[in-house]
Every structure is written in C-alpha cells, then in structure tokens.
Structure 1
C-alpha cells in the first residue's frame, strides 16, 4: 500500500512539473538553462514511476504465487491427513481430535472446542496414537510432515493430492 501511495505522490509531482514546463514554454521567455533541470526532473520522476510500477507488479505476482502455493500445501496436508485417518480407521470423533492435535491445540482447548471432557479427549488421543503406531503428538506430526515433504505438492499433471503420493 505504501508503494502505491509513493507512486501516486510521484505522479502528482510529475504532473506539477509537466504543467510548469508547459507554462514556461508557452511564455517563450524562459532560458534553456532554467528549462533543462525541470525537464530532467520530470523525466526522472516518470522513469521512477515506471520502475516502481514494475516493482509493484512483481510483488503482486509473487504474492499471488505464494498464496497459491500455500493453498496447495494446505490442501495437500488436508488430503494426507484424511488418507492417514482412513488407513488408521479412526472414528469421526478420533479424526476430529487428531486434526485439532495436529493443528497444535492443547487437550483442554480440544475439549472446549468439542464440548467434551478432557478425559474423553485423552482417551481419543491414546486410541489415535495406538492406531497410528506412534508414542505421542510429536511423532504424529512428524509422520505427516515427513510424508508431506517426501512427496511433490504439485505433480507433473498439475493435480495436487494423495494420488501423486501413492
């Protein structure tokens, strides 16, 4: 946003100089030594605006690419989680607790979000860890991240997902 403001400010300054140069030329009595710095400053402002517009476009394209990549990664992680939850034969409640656990929520937070007791969440977590063959939250998250890092997010056919990992 600040780059846009700078571009607009420079455009206003350029417009001022252009009108000043036009006014000076219309009078016809302004010496060349006075006109050269004004014309040079005006050209410099226009060149600066062009570079800033180009930089802004590059930044906007980069931001769009990063947002797209983040969306692909989030989608790939969600698909990977669903695949694992099916392989481990998690119940819907266990899958819900597992998703919250992977997202980093504490047992108390999960219990509050699900409207259940902490003991129930702990029971679900024990079942999840047993079915996944891991010892705890760290290993559960590591399992998913390791698998995600070992697979391309966007396969050659352009589709993201579990099909590319299998």
Structure 2
C-alpha cells in the first residue's frame, strides 16, 4: 500500500521544490554572471584551476537545467489548477448549464440525448419526457440507454448523482477543508 500525502504537505513540498529550483537557477546564474564580470573587470587575482572551473560550470549548468524543468512542471500544474478553479467559479456563478454542455460534449451526446438527459435530471419520467418532446416513450427509453452507455452510468440515479457532485465539487462541510473534501470525493469515485 502506497502512503498518501496530505494535500497540505504535498502543496508545501511542491512549493519547497520550486524554491529549491529557483535557488539552483540563481546560483547558476550568479556563477556565470560573476565569472564573466570578474574576467571583464580583471577582479580575479588567482586563476581557478581548469578542472575546478569545468566542474563548477557543469554544476551551475545542471542547476539551471534542473531549475528550468522544475519551474516548467510547477507552471504546468499551476495552469491546470487555474483551469479547475475557473470551472468551479463558472459553476458557482450560475454557468452550470455551460458546464453541463461541456460534460455532455465529453460524453459525445447528440442534441436529443442531451435534451432527454436534462429532462431526466429534472425528474420527469420517460412518458412525461416523451409528451414534452413529442416522441414515443420507447424512443425516450432508447435515448436514455444511449445516455447511460456514453456516460458510463447504469441508472438515472447515478446520472443525477454525478451532476449533483459536479455542482458541489470542492464544497467543504463545516470543520472540513476544501482540500480534504476533494480528497474524500476522489476516494469515493474509486
């Protein structure tokens, strides 16, 4: 069993690695700039042995590359987090229908399947949906089966639960942090 890090510890470790990467980049840049200016200004009184110079340049270059890679990974993770936060803001600010359209597009639902799914989420029976759409109940039933197949759910209750969870994703209960709520939701999804 793999030990799981708490979200707070993982966030702190992520920040720590970013600071280490920045420090490595700063040291590497300081070496190269200092070396250049000490030669230009003639400040170096005793030359550094060639072997030492090569080792120091190699370590400084390695520090710059490591810093670049870690910074890039941190930037990519931050961009993903911004996308997720924007999605949550859209949902919270009333753009839930836009979020539903994106979810339906991921499931590759047709227009009629989307319509039937929305009516089902509102609590209408197949017969009521058929009357509202001017189709037969068997057509609605086959469209609902297509929605279940494409979404990966097996019942109307699961479909509605998924959409309610999407609406409340990241909402913490009293005495609970948002990070803990997300971890519990991800564990429940397994």
Instruction: Specify the TM-score bucket, using the shorter chain as the normaliser.
Output: 0.3 to 0.5
TM-score normalised by length of structure 1: 0.46
Higher relative contact order (CA 8 A, sep 6+): 1
Normalised to the residue count of structure 2, the TM-score between the two structures is 0.40
Asked which structure has the greater CA Rg, the reply is 1
